[in-house]
Amino acid sequence: MSNFWSAWIIFLTVATIVGSTWLLMGNRKGRGEGQTTGHVYDEIEEYDNPLPAWWLYMFLASIVFAIGYLIAYPGLGKFPGMLGWTQVEAWQSEIDKAERTYAPLFEGYLAQPVETVAQDPKATKMGQRLFANNCAQCHGSDARGSHGFPNLTDNDWLYGGDAAAIKHSIAYGRAGQMPAWGAVMGEEKTAQATAYVQALSGQDTDAALAEAGKAVYGTYCIACHGVEGKGNPMFGAPDLTDDIWLYGGSESQIRRSIANGRQGQMPAHKDLLDEARIHLITAYVYSLSQKPIQAGAGAQ
């Protein structure tokens, strides 16, 4: 805050207190019992009676309190207050207190394998709260994801669903890169590749286009998605043979993915969360995919 704005805030604050005090003291007495101000509305006359004593004292007490508060605590521009209190220090004090309280508990969970922690209801409850604060914005509060954000409750994983792979994804993030093939393939080959991908997942499509698309797939797509279209966790290449789609599985959506590419970004959390909290979130996410999968589940 500049010196000018600091002085301006101080001036406004002090002027408000002085003005309120002057207005209050100037109206503490009336003209006398039964005297009116001359204002009449709807046959109701306004009397010029003084404020009740208790009301006057209450106002005076609030003014005295305001002055004392501004002397003790920050509120007058850049003046820090006589007590030196700051909201940052108060926040940090609470954080430090929480760390001292919960650090042994976190360290205890960190010493256990993720698979073991995932079977502890109290630990997964803690992991769920951490997930809600740090991951739900993208993956949803139920972790079922949405368009462009993976469902974490099924067994379909881009980079692997074991504990180590999940923990690596949370800590270091992921950068999915599906190259744009539209300019390279052209319209005809893009349509053929689209039909072939549809056929891989069991969709009804043009058989002739799909057959021609097999050769196109073998030229441009096989390196990442594999011979059978099962994908490759090393590249984050999805399985094209199931009915689980990150960006949608309709003909138009598949064509768009092939032609324009996709760039998914999972942010790294290693600089935002300590290892123990990442461990708990990992255990929670891991536990979600260990449950029976409901029919039709999956982010489309």
pLDDT one digit per residue (tens) for the chain, 300 residues: 789 999 999 999 999 999 999 988 887 775 556 677 778 888 888 887 777 889 889 999 999 999 999 999 999 988 999 998 999 999 999 999 988 998 999 999 999 999 999 999 999 999 999 999 999 999 999 999 999 999 999 999 999 999 999 999 999 999 989 999 999 999 999 999 999 999 999 999 999 999 999 999 999 999 999 999 999 999 999 999 999 999 999 999 999 999 999 999 999 999 999 999 999 999 999 999 986 544 443 443
**98 and 206 co-located in one domain:** no
Buried b vs exposed e over 225-252: b needs ≥16 C-beta within 10 Å?
bbeebebeeebbbbbbbbebbbbebebe
**243 and 168 co-located in one domain:** no
**279 and 134 co-located in one domain:** yes
Total domains present in the chain: 3
* Residue 64, domain member (yes or no): yes
Nearest to 152 by CA among 290, 285, 8: 285
**164 and 206 co-located in one domain:** no
**9 and 38 co-located in one domain:** yes
**139 and 279 co-located in one domain:** yes
**148 and 169 co-located in one domain:** yes
How far apart are the C-alpha atoms of 76 and 45, rounded to whole Å?
Answer: 42
- Cα 289 → chain centroid: 22
**68 and 117 co-located in one domain:** no
CB 78 within 8 A of CB 246: no
* Residue 299, domain member (yes or no): no
Q: For position 256, which CATH number holds?
A: 1.10.760.10
Range of the domain at 33: 3-72
Q: Which helix (H) or strand (E) holds 135?
A: none
**233 and 260 co-located in one domain:** yes
Q: What is the DSSP letter of 189?
A: H
How far apart are the C-alpha atoms of 192 and 198, rounded to whole Å?
Answer: 10
Which residues 6+ apart lie within 8 Å of 53 measured at CB?
none
Helical H segments across the chain, by residue range: 3-26, 53-72, 87-110, 114-117, 121-134, 136-139, 163-172, 182-200, 207-220, 222-225, 251-260, 275-288
Q: Quick check: pTM over 0.75?
A: no
**274 and 167 co-located in one domain:** yes
CA 214 vs CA 2, 174, 239: distances in Å: 67, 29, 16
**239 and 276 co-located in one domain:** no
Query: 73 forms bridges with which residues in the sheet?
Result: none
